[in-house]
Structure 1
Amino acid sequence: MQREGDDRPVPPVRTGLVLGAHWGLLAFVLALGGYYAVSLALSALATIDAADPTGIRLPQLGPLVLLAFVPNILLGLVPWLGSLRWGNGVRADFGLLPTGRDLKVGLACGGFALLAGYLLNLMLLQIYGSERMSGPLTEVFRGVSAEVGWLVLAAIVVVVGAPLTEELLFRGALWNGLAHYRIPNWAILLLTALLFAQLHGEPARTVALLAQGVAIGSARLITGRVGASMVAHATNNLPAALFLLIGS
């Protein structure tokens, strides 16, 4: 079917729909399911090794420490493949490569995320204490005697890898899927921030993570591009990566 006077074909009405829903929602569910499945499998592996005194202790092996980040790969890989298979391509669907404006907005929103996280974590520290406020990086790398090269690689994953995969999932696939159904942007911002906070599995820090998710998501809201929220996310994660290098 074509419009009168227009030689270009009209795209089919169901373009971008998979099983009756926007492909971004399907990618979100598949990625999150894969994330938890792989996380459980790795947790079981670590438990088995820890229970066997003669077995290999994973934290003592630098390369295997990075297994903690393997589930995150699925968070970005599934939306990436979904965009190629059902969407308009990664560039059109996500705007992943940051522009100059993305950098400015991302750095500003990342700075707000850091400030909000710092202030709220100080408050939560007084409520819950230091034991319940220790983050996942602290647990994963506690007692690690890895070579500097592996620690640098882990820090790069924290600053680049995690922001890339998590932003493709939340501010990419999920955001696009919800926007397809004309859900207000402010509601999408809050919902993606809430799910972002939940993914980290730190109940004591949920309030702080929610505020940081709102600040990071604001970069996507302002620019309409995942590249901006990725810069904001990387800015927010930078101190944690530095702490990883210095503290280890």
Structure 2
Amino acid sequence: MVDDNAGRRIFGAHWAFAAFFAGVAGYHLVTLITTAAVTHPSGDDDPVGLLAGPGLLLSFVPNLVLGLSPVLGSMRFGFGLDRDFGARPHWRDVRIGLACGALALVVGYLLNLGVLAVYGGDDVSDSPLTDLPDVSEGSYLWLAAAAAALVIAVPITEELLVRGALWNGLEHHRVPPWVVLALTALVFAVIHGESTRVIALFGQGLVLGVARCRSGRTAASVIAHATNNLPPAVLLFTGH
């Protein structure tokens, strides 16, 4: 996006780096707080399994924090979300995003099959999303809210953090494009905290990064991410 060579620096680095690290720190802090709030006194450390009804949405609160720092950083130090990140989608972003999102689904599916073949189903953990239908209190309302968060909120916050703030910070310091693509994909995979799905998430992160590369705008990667998340969101209702 904007090549701001005179952009404000924080501790000697571009402000986007500070926004990225603040977002990650906030994510972990809020995760600790929400986990403590919903963990059973008996010591059950599975917060998702203890959520029900409105509390179901608590599982998405830490993720929403990821996008807060890029937004605040852009408003305070940058030129606004559209100039800094290309947040307002154009038709070209939509086309690129849909294509890359569909490709990310295929890549993730094939890589997950490979992991299953190597490690076996017993050693590969399920996605945390598989527990959500069981704790929805029998209401499609809460599942619909969770699905909306998965398709709309999560792609926006994660993309603003990784292929927005981190990507811009790396570009500002003239990191080679292929390194930016690989590094942001790796960060994307790691922040999910799902060790057995890191390979698949890395592959999907590369494809989402291609959307950003092709368009030069984070809006395209947001649309690609939303497209990639749509089938898992729909599958929430099949387990209802």
Same fold (TM over 0.5): yes
Query: Which residue in 1 is equivalent to 2:147?
Result: 155
Structure 2 residue 176 is the aligned partner of structure 1 residue 191: no
Once the two structures are superposed, residues 30-89 of structure 1 have per-residue CA deviations (whole angstroms, 9 ceiling, x without a partner) of 01001011112222233235649xxxx842x21101100001111111100100000111
How far apart, CA to CA, are the structure 2 residues paired with 1:122 and 1:244? 21
Structure 2 residue 81 is the aligned partner of structure 1 residue 104: no
Normalising by structure 2, we get a TM-score of 0.91
How far apart, CA to CA, are the structure 2 residues paired with 1:70 and 1:62? 15
Q: How does 1:132-211 map onto structure 2 within 5 Å?
A: 132-211=124-203
Which consecutive residues of structure 1, in runs of 5 or more, have no partner in the other structure? 1-11
Q: How many residues align?
A: 232
How far apart, CA to CA, are the structure 2 residues paired with 1:64 and 1:26? 31
Shift of residue 178 of structure 1? Answer: 0.4
Contact kept in structure 1, 2:40 and 2:50, CA below 8 Å: no
Identity value in percent: 49
RMSD value, Cα = 1.8
Contact kept in structure 1, 2:136 and 2:142, CA below 8 Å: no
Once the two structures are superposed, residues 180-221 of structure 1 have per-residue CA deviations (whole angstroms, 9 ceiling, x without a partner) of 000011110100000000011111111110000000111001
The structure whose Rg is larger is 1
| SS of equivalent to 1:220 | helix
Distance verdict in 2 for CA 1:13–1:220, change over 3 Å = closer
Which consecutive residues of structure 2, in runs of 5 or more, have no partner in the other structure? none
Structure 2 residue 232 is the aligned partner of structure 1 residue 240: yes
How far apart, CA to CA, are the structure 1 residues paired with 2:198 and 2:133? 22
Letter in 2 for 1:224: G
Contact kept in structure 1, 2:185 and 2:202, CA below 8 Å: yes
Query: Which residue in 1 is equivalent to 2:118?
Result: 127
| SS of equivalent to 2:38 | helix
Q: How does 1:50-69 map onto structure 2 within 5 Å?
A: 51=43, 58-59=50-51, 61-69=52-60
